[in-house]
Chain A
């Protein structure tokens, strides 16, 4: 089983919709998770970072970690065409390898005007 699994989509929604993006992870010891956004032909940029469990909100974006089910989610409210991108979940390594990020395959999102 891969450490982080992500449904690649693609996902297409109308403008204004609530978007839910999800990943699962294999080891309940994982604690640090990130969501990156990658526009076409660009490098990924960090959207949100969460530690352990619970919710973290930043504007229209909410990141959620459910440790009991080993599930991480990113919700986008009032989605905009400018949100169209690939969204990558990632987990940070532990101990002496905490610099090492492991990514899911990414979910391609299109928000239609």
Chain B
């Protein structure tokens, strides 16, 4: 079946502009995650959505970052007033939301470059 998809695959923007990144999770997956992967760094957790529960936003690095999810489907990550340090690959993952071992399946990422 179809995996996690993300769009755009690449985004180049100017400092100070807003950007919106999209994630389409695997159908039927109730949990959705956003991670950031900066050059030479490990993946950093940003935010977690599970069903209708309040999201865990503890990983968002500043109030310029926000994310929304429509029901159990599409999610968008918005970065306002982008800065050069926001340049990274933004990865989305989804999972079944199981209580035990709950494998996270990753999309290909959006490569964001802030000039």
Interface residues of A (CB under 8 A from B): 4, 6, 8, 32, 41-46, 49, 88, 90, 97, 99-106
- Give the 4 A-B CB pairs with smallest separation, nearest first: A43-B106, A103-B42, A103-B43, A105-B42
Pick the contact of A99: B40, B44, B91, B102 (CB < 8 A). Answer: B102
Known: A41-B108, A49-B101. A99 touches B41 (CB 8 A): no
Indicate the size class of the contact surface on chain B: 20 to 34
Chain B CB within 10 Å — which of A6, A8, A43 has the most? Answer: A43
Residue B45, interface by CB 8 Å: yes
Other than the known A100-B48, A100-B59, A101-B104, what 10 A-B pairs have Cβ atoms closer than 8 Å?
A: A4-B42, A6-B42, A32-B101, A42-B108, A43-B108, A45-B106, A46-B103, A90-B43, A99-B48, A100-B56
Q: By the criterion CB–CB under 8 Å, are B109 and A43 in contact?
A: yes
Residue B26, interface by CB 8 Å: no
User: Could you tell me the distance in whole angstroms from the C-beta of B109 to the nearest C-beta in chain A?
Assistant: 6
Q: By the criterion CB–CB under 8 Å, are A99 and B50 in contact?
A: yes
Residue B31, interface by CB 8 Å: yes
Q: By the criterion CB–CB under 8 Å, are B40 and A8 in contact?
A: yes
Q: By the criterion CB–CB under 8 Å, are B43 and A44 in contact?
A: yes
